[in-house]
Structure 1
Amino acid sequence: MNWLTTAPRRVLALISVACVALLAFGMYLQHVVGLEPCPMCIVQRYALVAVAVFAGLASARGNKGWWMTFAALAMVSAGFGAFVAARQSWLQWYPPEVATCGRDFYGMIENYPISRSIPMIFRGSGDCTAIDWTFLGGSIANWSFVCFVGFAVVLLALVVRGLKGGQSSGSGYSMA
């Protein structure tokens, strides 16, 4: 865990780059392979964008308060993404008896108020239970969950180490 104390901003930048790479892979699966994302997949993409932006902002400045605040926001975003991915994995493992294809994410937002759209997204639809692509036995939702949990654990470790490191620059916590 020495890399957490020696270069936290580099770790945050790496998380941001990894999120962008995962988003690019999602776009590849959609536009080249032809897989259409379900509403829960879209929400996971937004969570991934939030992790990338917050981790990127955290890595941008050496001020400890700045990077710890944005690292904490990235951690919360990763936790939310893990929750959505876990819910989608659950729907894939235990599909509802009556699975109907629901509206796409944008159709729900355009036609229903947000207070009604959000529960519809998490309820899932026939699309959310389908497993169209697998890698090493796991669906996209399973791997998304693994990635979000990995990001959240690393971000939690960074924040905890930052809190234990003290406020002074002589604490051994380099901002490289």
Structure 2
Amino acid sequence: MQKLTNYRSLQVFLVFMTVIGMSYALFFLQRYMGLSPCPLCIFQRIGIMVMGAFALVAALFHPKSIAVRLLLWFGSLVGIGWATTVAARHVWLQHLPADQVPSCGPGLDYWLDTLPILQVFKEVFSGSGECATIDWTFMGLSIPEQSLIFFSLLLLVHILILWRIFRPVETLA
């Protein structure tokens, strides 16, 4: 069991979860189901890709320095923390009463072409009617609710990784 929860194995697990999450989003939801991602979905994807990139670096190079491990862990944590926060906001928007849902505005491409980046973030996080729409459910959970559960579990893995950074597994040689 300790070999499964060592630093490198946990980083590989995060990379694997990134591949699964992105494959689910791109190939199943987007290609197979034909669902287009809203701006909040795109921001969630960015967060999980950031987490996966830091986890991949940590898994490939397996740094020995606690400082480097903490830096990589923090970068990964920022990515999944971002994705979790955006997913929570998305779930909140979906549970607003119909009369309180923000109206639909122009798409993300238009905002990126015409607005400064900070204004784009403000517009995306204010949400739009398209973000409040529930297009598909699985076991009664909307896509953002599924994402929030998935991201929350990955946050728990980050707690285990932090614990492993300061309490490494002894080698059984």
Q: Same fold (TM over 0.5)?
A: yes
- The question of 1:143 aligning with 2:146 is answered yes
Cα deviation, 1:29-70, whole Å, max 9, x if unaligned, reads 112211111110010010011111111111112323334421
Cα deviation, 1:52-93, whole Å, max 9, x if unaligned, reads 111111111232333442122111211111000000000001
Q: Which moved more, 1:60-69 or 1:128-137?
A: 60-69
Q: Tell me which amino acid in the other structure corresponds to 2:72.
A: F
Question: C-alpha displacement at 1:10, in angstroms?
Answer: 1.6
CA RMSD, Structure 1 to Structure 2 (Å): 2.0
Which residue does the alignment assign to 1:25? Answer: 24
1:101 counterpart SS class: coil
Question: C-alpha displacement at 1:4, in angstroms?
Answer: 6.1
Distance 1:124 1:99, change over 3 A: same
Q: Tell me which amino acid in the other structure corresponds to 1:111.
A: T
CA distance in 1, matches of 2:53, 2:78: 13
Distance 1:108 1:96, change over 3 A: farther
Distance 1:173 1:137, change over 3 A: farther
Greater RCO (Cα-Cα under 8 Å, separation 6 or more): 1
CA distance in 2, matches of 1:82, 1:173: 34
Verify the 8 A CA contact 1:68 1:162 in the aligned structure 2.
yes
Question: C-alpha displacement at 1:95, in angstroms?
Answer: 4.4
Verify the 8 A CA contact 2:69 2:165 in the aligned structure 1.
no
Counting matched residue pairs gives 168
Verify the 8 A CA contact 1:89 1:142 in the aligned structure 2.
yes
> Where do 4+ consecutive residues of structure 1 move more than 4 Å?
none
Which residue does the alignment assign to 1:2? Answer: 2
Which residue does the alignment assign to 1:116? Answer: 119
CA distance in 1, matches of 2:3, 2:93: 37
Equivalent residue runs for 1:25-174 within 5 Å: 25-28=24-27, 29-65=29-65, 66-95=68-97, 97=99, 98-165=101-168, 172=170
Q: Point out where structure 1 has 5 or more consecutive residues left out of the alignment.
A: 166-170
Verify the 8 A CA contact 2:7 2:164 in the aligned structure 1.
no
1:172 counterpart SS class: coil
> Identity over the aligned pairs, expressed in percent?
31
CA distance in 2, matches of 1:105, 1:155: 31
Which residue does the alignment assign to 1:168? Answer: none
Verify the 8 A CA contact 1:12 1:58 in the aligned structure 2.
yes
Q: Which moved more, 1:125-134 or 1:156-165?
A: 156-165
CA distance in 2, matches of 1:106, 1:94: 25
Q: Which moved more, 1:150-159 or 1:93-102?
A: 93-102
CA distance in 2, matches of 1:4, 1:155: 14
